[in-house]
Amino acid sequence: MNKVNTQRLQKSKTLDLVYAAIGVTLITICSWINIPMAVPFTLQTFAVFAVLLILGGERGTIATLIYVLMGAIGIPVFAGFSGGLGIVLGSTGGYIVGFIFMGLIFIAMTKAFGNKAVVEIAALLIGLFVCYAFGTAWFMYVYMRETGEVGLFTVLTWCVFPFILPDLAKMAIAVIISRRVKPLIR
């Protein structure tokens, strides 16, 4: 490999690291923003949507993975300035881990069908469904192991139904913002 190609590769790797750091920072800050309602929610999912759309599937998924790993080792990047393996392995940790699956689905769909807006939106919708499904299964497993039997509908009422409309609104805002920001990055 010649010197020019080596320099380009180093510059590309450096840019990947910078973009990942920006993505992790955005997800972390949005995780800390708590909007009080009947069921409080954060802007965490908005940030995951935005990072995937703006940085692309691979960089966005790497940023999401780093975010989850940082939280797992105890850095307070999760909602409520929390962190630690106990959060990731706790009843709601499956939803956090589900963000990684969202990214993997985004990568697979955009690689298979291109980076068209309709494909990206479909990938986010499917990814959100998988995140909900994985998180709900995880919640039920942990909750039943620690507390006792609970029905699927009850868990969906606690953990999914209140978040569907806010998450769809966050997705729409992320799509609008990404369409304006993405051209500035390239």
pLDDT band at 9 (very low <50, low <70, confident <90, very high): low
Q: How far apart are CA 157 and CA 137, in angstroms?
A: 14
Place of tokens 């309709």: 118
CATH at residue 38: 1.10.1760.20
Alpha helices by DSSP H, the chain: 3-32, 44-55, 57-72, 85-89, 93-113, 117-146, 152-159, 161-185
35 forms beta bridges with: 41
Q: What is the pLDDT of residue 14?
A: 87
- With a pLDDT cut of 90, the percent of the chain lying above it is 84
Give, as one character, the DSSP assignment of residue 82.
B
Domain count for the chain: 1
Q: How far apart are CA 158 and CA 186, in angstroms?
A: 41
Q: How far apart are CA 61 and CA 63, in angstroms?
A: 5
16 burial level (CB within 10 Å; 0-12, 13-18, 19+): middle
Q: What is the pLDDT of residue 186?
A: 66
Residue 97, domain extent: 3-185
Q: What is the pLDDT of residue 166?
A: 94
Q: What is the pLDDT of residue 185?
A: 82
Instruction: List C-alpha distances in Å: 71 to 11, 68, 103, 157, 159.
Output: 28, 5, 17, 26, 21
Residue 131 main-chain phi, psi, to 5 deg: -60, -45
Average pLDDT, the chain: 93
Q: How far apart are CA 36 and CA 59, in angstroms?
A: 31
Q: Please name the residues in contact with 176: beta carbons below 8 A apart, sequence gap of 6 or more.
A: none
Is the confidence at residue 38, as pLDDT, over 90? no
> Which pair of structure tokens corresponds to residue 158?
């606690």
For 127-163, how does the pLDDT look when each residue is reduced to its tens digit (9 = 90+)?
999 999 999 999 999 999 999 999 999 999 999 999 9
For 113-122, how does the pLDDT look when each residue is reduced to its tens digit (9 = 90+)?
999 999 999 9
For 66-112, how does the pLDDT look when each residue is reduced to its tens digit (9 = 90+)?
999 999 999 999 998 999 999 999 999 999 999 999 999 999 999 99
Q: How far apart are CA 149 and CA 165, in angstroms?
A: 28
> Which pair of structure tokens corresponds to residue 31?
């995780």
Q: What is the pLDDT of residue 4?
A: 64
Is the confidence at residue 10, as pLDDT, over 90? no
